[in-house]
Amino acid sequence: MELREVLSNADDIAGFYIKRRTNFLGRWIYHCGWYPDPVLRLFRKSQGNFNEAIIHEKVELQGRIDYLKEELLHYSYPNLESYLHRFNRYTTMGAQVAFEKGRRVRWFDLVMRPPISFITHFVSRQGFRDGMEGFMISVLSAVAVLVKYAKLRYMQQQQSNRIA
């Protein structure tokens, strides 16, 4: 209902952000930095395109953007296998992007960034309020940081071995 009403009065609006609510292992997540997670999903093709980012591509839009009241229900992680599949893909892509930018792995990246990630998700972004699922998201986010930098370090070692 909201879409019909908004679109009929949206001549000057190029696109709309929609609040995304994500379901993780059967539970709606409202914290951990996962909600409201506004995404630009409804836009005029003539005024925008997705950028070419390898990971977390976004719509680049020319014009005014508004927000919808309704939510986009995102059933992206029905089980741990689906999460781990994306986890592996995203950590590889993240390492690849960092590698292409010439980012070097330092001890801080492997030792300090993972616990900082956990604290950010679980404490600062109140993941504890999402119960066991919030704890798992926070831990898995920290592990993802470690794995991304471990993959980046491996890529750098492979490059050094080819050069030597």
State pLDDT tens for residues 64-87: 899 999 999 999 899 999 999 999
Question: Which pLDDT belongs to residue 164?
Answer: 67
Cα 74 from chain centroid (whole Å): 13
What is the rounded CA–CA span in Å between residue 32 and residue 78?
18
Task: Walk along the chain (164 residues) and give the pLDDT tens digit of each residue.
Answer: 687 787 777 778 888 999 999 999 999 999 999 999 999 888 888 888 888 777 777 888 888 899 999 999 999 899 999 999 999 999 999 999 999 999 999 999 999 999 999 999 999 999 999 999 999 999 999 999 999 999 999 999 998 888 86
Report the pLDDT value the prediction gives residue 97, as an integer from 0 to 100. 94
Strand partners, 42: 16
**126 torsion bin: left (phi>0), alpha (psi -120 to 50), beta (else):** left
Q: Which of 126, 136, 30 is nearest to 83 (CA)?
A: 136
CA distance 40 to 17: 4
Domain range summary for the chain, segments of one domain joined by + = 2-76, 80-163
Greatest distance between any 2 Cα atoms in the chain: 64
- Cα(66)–Cα(69) distance, rounded to whole angstroms? 10
